[in-house]
Chains A and B, each alone.
Chain A
Amino acid sequence: MPKDVTDVICPFCGTLCDDLVVTVSDDNKTILGVKNACAIGAEKFNHQRLPGRVTRPRMRQADGSFKEITYDEAIDWTAKMLVKSRKTLMYGWASTSCQAMSIGHEIAEKVGAIVDNCATVCHGSSLIAIEDVGVPSCTLGEVKNRADRVIFWGCNPAHAHPRHMSRYSIFPRGFFTVKGHKGRKIYCVDCRYTDTAKCADEFIQVQQGYDYELLNAFRTAARGEVLPDTVGGVPKEKIYEIAEDLKQGRFIIIFFGMGLTHSMGRNHNIDIAINLTRDLNDFTKCAIMAMRGHWNVTGSGQVLGWQYGFPFAVDLSRRDQARHQTGETTSVDLLNRSEVEACFYIATDPGAHFPVDAMISSSKKPTVTIDPHIQCTTEISDIHIPVAMVGVEVGGCAYRMDNVPIETRKVVDPPEGMLTDEELLTKINHRVDELLLAGGA
């Protein structure tokens, strides 16, 4: 008899939906169906039963092909690489559990590596801005129950976080937002007319690369100062009108995405958006939130944050101190400048997201990739170690985009004999200990 597992957490995006129902086969091995999830989330679960999954580690041979090896061989090779390398990049972490990250960081401390997560090519610029000016934020529950002015700036949840709008930001009826969509005024600021813009009451089309200037204009307008006739293609009358309407709101929330973090100025765009949020708090309540992508990239920032004080790009090579400098200890810069000797990738796919030059540099170094699937990075790795899918085949702690920790659930068993991230990293950690005790690799 197939059974339904309820209240399943979706391990896809930073929204971490917690109301999925997954139908599982009698033997607990196959997922038969997924309810309540968006198309992307459902696909993450349906992946599990796809044929052709790699179930044992593979090592690249001289002719470029892969040969199956045992977990022990893979663990030994990885540990030796980590111990030998003077500077190793340990990148990824965004799609694994906080428990696994913690073990990974223990290894990094021992071998003097640099730990970086997907924020480095995503919301890293938001984190820099937060380091500079702090952040007045809130939880998604507060947004659902209180927000009556919602601004989507440079983000497109209709595609990237498909259930965000229905669960939290546009449509739900909350305690103080009983009218749901009708009680909220939705603004969308973007350089193109997105599907999210279609759901908005007002779409403000900003010229590409003029977000900083437009945010500056909103701050200037909120203070009642003079403005030039147009800013970033938006007429000043419109800017004054919106600034006044925002002041009339009871609770304003600004959601922002890659449109701000990866257009000209990067962290400065977030910095000034945070300062606009601060300014608006002189008139009403206002909060700001990053639309985090990977389901547990926030968790990686949290774990690194409480362990070392920095949310990403943490350089542990000097042992006695943790260092962090975006532009120096960030993955792409390290690879472009060939500042590392070995690469260790886990729970992510830099091959699909990093600039080509960085990956060319990476492909020339000893590389280990730990991931359930065959992906771009595994194809340039010396070793690919498959693991169980976190959030599907094993549980673990994850942080939602609003920094709320949620324990993900195990739904089905992993393939026979397959290790989880935690088990694998623990074994690598032990092997590193043995090697260090014996005096190196």
Chain B
Amino acid sequence: MNTVTLTVKKVPELYLECENVNPDVFAGKTADKIAKLPGYQGKEISTLGEYFTIAGEAGATAAETKIIINGDCSKMKYLGAKMTAGEVVINSACDMYTGSWMKGGKLVVNGDVHSFCGLAMAGGEFTINGNAGNYLGAAYRGDWRGMSGGVLRVKGNAGSDVATFMTGGEMIIEGDVDIHIGTHMEGGKIIVKGNANRRVGGQLVKGEIYIFGKINVMMPGFKPAGEVALEVDGTKAKFVEYLGDLGERHPKKKGETVYGKLFLKQ
């Protein structure tokens, strides 16, 4: 695997749209060619070379390309977005849409990310070694398909509207989450190791939500359905199972109504 190292040499005045910083675009390109790729700041089109010092060379394909980004990326959007293979390591906090529409490969952010990250993620592995903002792994505005595959792990806390319209995949948040998690969820699995604020699983159709800590206010549309012993992300514990959201539509399978499930650790 070939490695390309990007070091931020100039922090953008507004916000730089870095949709060209991912292994798929870099594949088969030399440092010089990468430096000439466009970066966008409002209506101004500049080059990546203007904002980054680029060293190394990309592999022939995305899968053979690793990108390491150093320096302050807190004003850069779309880093690693739409990647399908390869590896990206960002040693900084980053702005919106990091890892959004990701289909494969591995993305690691050693810092915090802003809102709309991992949006409609379909595959791959996305790890955030910091906190995440709102709309993590949610659907793009107006879409009814949020995160559908892959694994998204946050070491810190996440904001509100996490995993809205999630249809598949696995999301693990090791800290706390704010309001509205798993709203309109139709599949997949969310694990929250900390506390959840309110409105957990509102309008939940299908899928599983595990909460290790406390929920401030339980949704009225959930009813308890007994206790179960489970192993969740390496932790064995007893959980109270709830079925819901009883106010929402639910599909039927073999004549039985399929409910969403909420597990609350005891």
Contacts and interface: CB of A to CB of B under 8 A. Distances in A.
Contact of A217 (B42, B144, B184, B220): B220
Given A86-B42, A268-B202, 20 more contacts: A86-B14, A86-B41, A132-B165, A216-B202, A216-B221, A216-B245, A225-B223, A225-B246, A226-B246, A227-B220, A265-B180, A268-B183, A268-B199, A271-B183, A324-B141, A325-B141, A328-B96, A337-B15, A341-B14, A341-B42
B37 interface: no
Interface in B183-239: 183-184, 198-199, 202-203, 217-221, 223
B11 to A, nearest CB: 13
Interface of A: 85-87, 111-112, 128, 131-132, 210, 212-213, 216-220, 222-223, 225-228, 231, 264-265, 268, 271-272, 275, 279, 317-319, 324-328, 337-341
B199 A219 contact: no
A225 B247 contact: yes
B14 A87 contact: yes
B220 A228 contact: yes
Nearest to B183: A268
Interface of B: 14-15, 40-44, 96, 115-116, 134-135, 140-142, 144, 165, 179-180, 183-184, 198-199, 202-203, 217-221, 223, 245-248
Residue among B141, B142, B220, B223 with max Cβ neighbours from chain A (10 Å) = B220
Contact of B247 (A86, A131, A217, A265): A217
Contacts of B247: 216-220, 222-223, 225, 279
B223 A226 contact: yes
B142 A87 contact: no
11 contacts: A87-B14, A212-B199, A216-B221, A216-B245, A228-B218, A264-B179, A272-B202, A317-B43, A325-B116, A327-B115, A328-B96
Contact of A220 (B144, B183, B221): B221
Nearest to B198: A264
A217 B144 CA distance: 23
B181 to A, nearest CB: 11
A328 B40 CA distance: 15
Given A87-B14, A112-B43, A225-B247, A131 B141 contact: yes
Nearest to A278: B249
Contacts of A131: 141-142
Residue among B44, B135, B248 with max Cβ neighbours from chain A (10 Å) = B248
Contacts of B245: 216, 220
A252 to B, nearest CB: 17
B14 to A, nearest CB: 6
A228 B222 CA distance: 9
A326 B40 CA distance: 20
Residue among A217, A279, A324, A325 with max Cβ neighbours from chain B (10 Å) = A325
Contact of B42 (A225, A317, A337): A317
B199 A231 contact: no
A94 to B, nearest CB: 21
Contact of B219 (A216, A326, A328, A341): A216
Contact of B144 (A128, A132, A272, A275): A132
Nearest to B219: A216
A72 to B, nearest CB: 26
Contacts of B42: 85-87, 112, 317, 340-341
Contacts of B44: 86
Pick the 4 closest A-B CB pairs, nearest first.
A112-B43, A219-B247, A87-B42, A86-B42
A271 B221 contact: no
A238 B92 CA distance: 53
